[in-house]
Amino acid sequence: MLSVRVGWGYDAHPWAASRPLVLCGVRIPGHEGLAGHSDGDAACHALVDALLGAAGEGDIGRWFPPGDPRWRDASSLGMLRQVAARLAGAGWRIENVDVTLIAAHPPLAPWREGFVQSLAGALGVEAARVNVKASSGNGLGFSGEGSGLAAVAVAVLEPPDAPEAAREAGPSPAAR
């Protein structure tokens, strides 16, 4: 039987007219960006938290403190890449990740494939292990009313101590 750990992450940022919009490491032209200490990429922030949670390694604020000037305007995709590399180096294996972006605007579905490719590259996994979807929020809450964007992420990791037979079997048929 495959042994896995599951982590969940959430992040939200208000819109900021003076910044470019970056989601999943992809720059979206023609729309205001998100406020934040780094580049404000709420999708990457939520995914970092999900990965760290699954591995029992705290949260994004512990790894990349918002008051630390090193992370001012930093690439959140770069942060995600760092976390993924550290987890892989410790023997963790990403089974799959799933990200939901919640915003009244802009329409995000046209960018989905770019989001998936960008995240897969940063995580060092094939695109089939990454899912990204978007919801308008139906006019409800901060993001649904158009005040900003929220992101939710789930990560499923195989721990370093998983039985070798389970590792050799690969992902479950549902994940293939």
Q: What's the rounded mean pLDDT across residues 18-34?
A: 96
CA 29 to chain centroid, in Å, comes to 20
Note the pTM of the prediction, 2 decimals.
0.90
Backbone angles phi, psi at 132, to 5 degrees: -135, 135
Q: What's the rounded mean pLDDT across residues 10-34?
A: 96
Strand order in the sheet with 130-135: 26-34, 5-23, 148-158, 93-102, 130-135
Angle of CA points 43, 47, 52, to nearest 5°: 150
Task: Name the residue ranges covered by the structural domains of the chain.
Answer: 5-175
The reported pLDDT for the residue numbered 164 is: 62
The reported pLDDT for the residue numbered 14 is: 97
DSSP 146: T
Half-sphere exposure of 132 (CA within 13 A, CB side): 25
Residue 162: other Cβ atoms inside 10 A: 18
Tokens of 148: 């900003």
**What totals of helices (H) and strands (E) does the chain contain, helices first?**
6, 5
Q: What is the pLDDT of residues 66-113, one digit of tens each?
A: 888 888 888 999 999 999 999 999 999 999 999 999 999 999 999 999
Pick the CATH number of 5-175 from 3.40.30.10, 3.30.70.980, 3.30.1330.50, 3.40.50.2300: 3.30.1330.50
Q: How far apart are CA 92 and CA 5, in angstroms?
A: 10
Tokens of 166: 């389970």
Tokens of 54: 């699954």
The reported pLDDT for the residue numbered 27 is: 97
Which residues, listed in sequence order, are joined to residue 21 by a DSSP beta bridge? 28
Q: What is the pLDDT of residues 118-174, one digit of tens each?
A: 999 999 999 999 999 999 988 888 888 889 999 999 999 999 987 664 445 555 444
